[in-house]
């Protein structure tokens, strides 16, 4: 793959000096008047670096490999030129035969991208639809019986429709893989290859990713034809607009400290990351008891519940949104002021993704991490990755409540830490384990208790069917917890399906 590299100024990834960028406006990029009118109505006049550099390359019709840290405008960077190209050569496609396919990893991101298509395409004759699992499929059947120019989809549900012959991918002119790094980490590589085999070989392919990992470059080598390459931020860098800090606190006191911080600083819009779905639920319940409006979103929540919680969080009626990493993918709020890591992620790269939810679109933000002594190794890995130390800050006025004698520890067990050598999920771990999901299902449970159906450790209250299954094991697998392949966030799957050895796709 031969890739001319364009950087935001300074030094390219290969170390070659580049000229500092010249300030441009959207009117300089060659976009049509109807698109510029829609952009103007959003209030934007100056494109971000990924937009200023990527839009002209996409308009030329070539393939593109683009990396930019989250919140830098990747979505508009491909939505605008795609709308221009489709309207520049208008066609009337057959029902259910889209001209452009945008693949994304999660439901929330799919909805966000399709919303952007409608926002910027409001003055052009282009029809779009969004397709993902967890919702009634009948409206999707109805939409596919009509004209669809741009289809935004998650891989699993798309292949469901392909299998039922309700969608025809033979007319795809432009293929976009958005958040490609996350799709790899979630184990969608096989689904991606199936989709690639269904679209025409002669097409324009755009691959967008928050990071330029070696795996992304390997994927690009097989998909892209002499692409242009843009990297507007050094790999795995945290936004300079995000003020980062750490509060050292025992795990059992984290919930009380979080409630204290929310009141002390009068935080009105806070996104909190937990490691497990069970932990997200328990934390939201605690905050509600403290009279702090909160809700949890994760893979076990229905799509309706997730959509309502996100809408309330965005409009300010919900003060705290507690989320796992996968569920939070796609949350796009330009001026989100505060992110909290209730627990540090197992993979350092996820820290960058998490705090990238704030400090977006040029706005400042803050990211606070609550760190227990057992998480210090994870903190060192993160600091090594972002090449900077994170300030340790003491909290004034916080007095931890006494712990009753004999009370169970409020702690999730930790899997082995993944250092830089591991390279993140899917590098040294079975493909299909998602970020935000512990490699060892983690909630502490009494000896002999069976795992609950949602993939988190919790007693079911019933005796194990096979006592040998709960006997202590020896060796490394017993000490660290052997990782379970393909343990992605489930979407209300039946208990039998969850306990099956057959992997199940997320966000179908």
Does one domain contain both 308 and 369? yes
- Residue 324 maps to a domain: yes
Two tokens at 51?
Answer: 């937009």
Which residues, 6+ apart, have CB-to-CB distance to 457 below 8 Å? 278, 413, 441, 442, 443, 444, 445, 449, 451
The residue whose two tokens read 């300079």 is 240
DSSP state, 53?
Answer: H
Two tokens at 349?
Answer: 């790269």
DSSP state, 242?
Answer: E
> Which is nearest to 321 in space by CA: 361, 292, 349, 345?
292
Does one domain contain both 208 and 287? no
Which residues, 6+ apart, have CB-to-CB distance to 42 below 8 Å? 119, 120
* CA 111 from centroid of its chain's CA atoms: 13
* CA 137 from centroid of its chain's CA atoms: 23
Q: Residue 68 and residue 65: Cα distance in Å, rounded?
A: 10
CA distances from 84 to 71, 134, 224, 335 (A): 23, 32, 21, 28
CA distances from 246 to 93, 341, 384 (A): 54, 9, 15
User: Within a 10 A sphere around the Cβ of 54, how many other Cβ atoms?
Assistant: 29
Q: What is the pTM (predicted TM-score) of this model?
A: 0.60
Two tokens at 132?
Answer: 């993902």
CA distances from 264 to 226, 257, 322 (A): 54, 10, 19
- Show which of 207, 231, 255 is a domain's final residue: 231
User: Within a 10 A sphere around the Cβ of 384, how many other Cβ atoms?
Assistant: 12
- Residue 380 maps to a domain: yes
Does one domain contain both 278 and 224? no
- Show which of 197, 231, 265 is a domain's final residue: 231
Q: Are 100 and 268 in contact (CB under 8 A)?
A: no
pLDDT per residue rounded down to tens, the chain (508 residues): 444 444 444 333 333 333 444 578 999 999 999 999 999 998 888 898 889 999 999 999 999 998 866 667 889 999 999 999 999 998 887 999 999 999 999 888 898 899 999 999 999 999 999 999 988 999 999 999 999 999 999 999 999 999 999 999 999 999 999 988 888 878 888 999 999 999 999 999 999 887 677 788 888 888 999 999 888 755 555 567 789 999 999 999 999 999 999 999 999 999 999 988 999 999 999 999 999 999 999 878 887 888 889 889 988 899 999 998 776 666 767 678 899 999 999 888 888 888 877 876 566 789 999 999 999 999 999 999 888 899 999 998 898 887 665 555 565 544 444 443 333 333 333 333 443 333 333 333 333 333 333 333 333 333 444 444 444 444 433 333 333 333 333 344 433 333 333 444 444 5
- Residue 412 maps to a domain: no
Q: What is the pLDDT of residue 101?
A: 98
Region of residue 87 (phi > 0: left; psi between -120 and 50: alpha; otherwise: beta): alpha
Which residues, 6+ apart, have CB-to-CB distance to 139 below 8 Å? none
- Helix (H, G, I), strand (E, B), or coil: what is residue 184? helix
Domains of the chain: total: 2
Which residues, 6+ apart, have CB-to-CB distance to 357 below 8 Å? 70, 71, 271, 328, 331, 333, 336, 339
- Show which of 195, 212, 231 is a domain's final residue: 231
- Residue 169 maps to a domain: yes
Does one domain contain both 80 and 166? yes
Does one domain contain both 101 and 191? yes
CATH code of the domain covering residue 259 = 3.40.50.300
Does one domain contain both 135 and 12? yes
Q: Residue 382 and residue 78: Cα distance in Å, rounded?
A: 30
- Residue 405 maps to a domain: no
Q: Residue 205 and residue 66: Cα distance in Å, rounded?
A: 11
Q: Residue 110 and residue 350: Cα distance in Å, rounded?
A: 20
Does one domain contain both 217 and 265? no
Angle subtended at Cα 359 by Cα 358 and Cα 365, rounded to the nearest 5 degrees: 75
In the beta sheet, which residues pair with residue 11?
17
Full domain range(s) for residue 119 = 5-231
Q: Residue 130 and residue 153: Cα distance in Å, rounded?
A: 6
Does one domain contain both 195 and 302? no
Which residues, 6+ apart, have CB-to-CB distance to 235 below 8 Å? 13, 67, 211, 212, 213
Does one domain contain both 33 and 158? yes
Q: Are 194 and 32 in contact (CB under 8 A)?
A: no
CA distances from 370 to 189, 252, 279, 430 (A): 34, 11, 14, 28
Q: Are 273 and 325 in contact (CB under 8 A)?
A: yes
Does one domain contain both 267 and 130? no
- Residue 246 maps to a domain: yes
- The size of the chain, in residues, is 508
Q: Are 9 and 21 in contact (CB under 8 A)?
A: yes
Does one domain contain both 224 and 268? no
Does one domain contain both 208 and 268? no
- Residue 485 maps to a domain: no
DSSP state, 443?
Answer: B
- Residue 483 maps to a domain: no
Q: Residue 321 and residue 310: Cα distance in Å, rounded?
A: 8
Q: Are 300 and 491 in contact (CB under 8 A)?
A: yes
Q: Residue 120 and residue 40: Cα distance in Å, rounded?
A: 10
């Amino acid at each position: 793959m031969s890739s001319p590299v364009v950087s935001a100024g300074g030094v390219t990834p290969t170390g070659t000096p580049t000229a500092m960028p010249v300030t441009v406006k959207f009117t300089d990029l060659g976009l049509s008047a109807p698109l510029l009118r829609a952009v103007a109505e959003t209030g934007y006049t100056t494109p971000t670096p990924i937009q200023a550099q990527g839009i002209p390359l996409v308009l030329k019709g070539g393939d593109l490999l683009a990396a930019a840290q989250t919140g830098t405008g990747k979505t508009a960077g491909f939505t605008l030129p795609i709308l221009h190209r489709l309207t520049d050569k208008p066609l009337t496609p057959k029902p259910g035969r889209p001209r452009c396919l945008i693949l994304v990893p999660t439901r929330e991101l799919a909805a966000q991208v399709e919303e952007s298509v409608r926002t910027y395409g409001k003055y052009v004759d282009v029809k779009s639809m969004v397709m993902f699992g967890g919702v009634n499929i009948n409206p999707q059947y109805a939409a596919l019986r009509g004209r669809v120019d741009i289809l935004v989809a998650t891989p699993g549900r798309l292949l469901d429709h392909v299998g039922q012959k309700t969608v025809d991918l033979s007319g795809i002119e432009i293929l976009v893989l958005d958040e490609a790094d996350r799709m790899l980490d979630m184990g969608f590589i096989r689904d991606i290859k199936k989709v690639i085999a269904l679209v025409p070989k002669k097409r324009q392919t755009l691959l967008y990713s928050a990071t330029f990992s070696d795996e992304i470059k390997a994927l690009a080598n097989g998909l892209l034809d002499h692409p242009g390459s843009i990297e507007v931020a050094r790999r795995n860098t945290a936004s300079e607009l995000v003020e980062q800090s750490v509060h050292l606190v025992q795990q059992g006191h984290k919930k009380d400290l979080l409630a204290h911080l929310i009141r002390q600083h009068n935080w009105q819009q806070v996104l909190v990351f937990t490691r497990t779905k069970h932990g997200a639920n328990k934390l939201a319940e605690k905050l509600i008891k403290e009279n702090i409006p909160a809700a949890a979103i994760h893979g076990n929540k229905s799509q309706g519940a997730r959509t309502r919680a996100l809408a309330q969080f965005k409009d300010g009626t919900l003060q705290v949104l507690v989320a796992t990493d996968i569920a939070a993918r796609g949350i796009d709020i330009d001026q989100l002021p505060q992110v909290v890591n209730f627990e540090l992620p197992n993979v350092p790269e996820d820290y960058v993704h998490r705090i990238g939810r704030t400090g977006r679109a040029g706005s400042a933000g803050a990211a606070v991490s609550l760190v227990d002594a057992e998480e210090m190794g994870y903190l060192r890995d993160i600091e090594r990755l972002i090449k900077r130390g994170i300030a340790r800050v003491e909290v004034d006025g916080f007095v931890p409540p006494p712990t009753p004698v004999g009370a169970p520890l409020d702690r999730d067990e930790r899997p082995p830490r993944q250092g830089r050598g591991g390279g993140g999920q899917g590098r040294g771990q079975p493909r299909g384990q998602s970020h935000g999901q512990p490699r060892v299902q983690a909630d502490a449970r009494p000896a002999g208790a069976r795992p609950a159906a949602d993939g988190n450790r919790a007693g079911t209250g019933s005796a194990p069917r096979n006592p040998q299954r709960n006997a202590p094991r020896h060796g490394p697998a017993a000490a660290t917890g052997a990782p379970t392949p393909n343990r992605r966030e489930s979407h209300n799957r039946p208990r039998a399906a969850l306990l099956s050895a057959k992997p199940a796709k997320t966000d179908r």
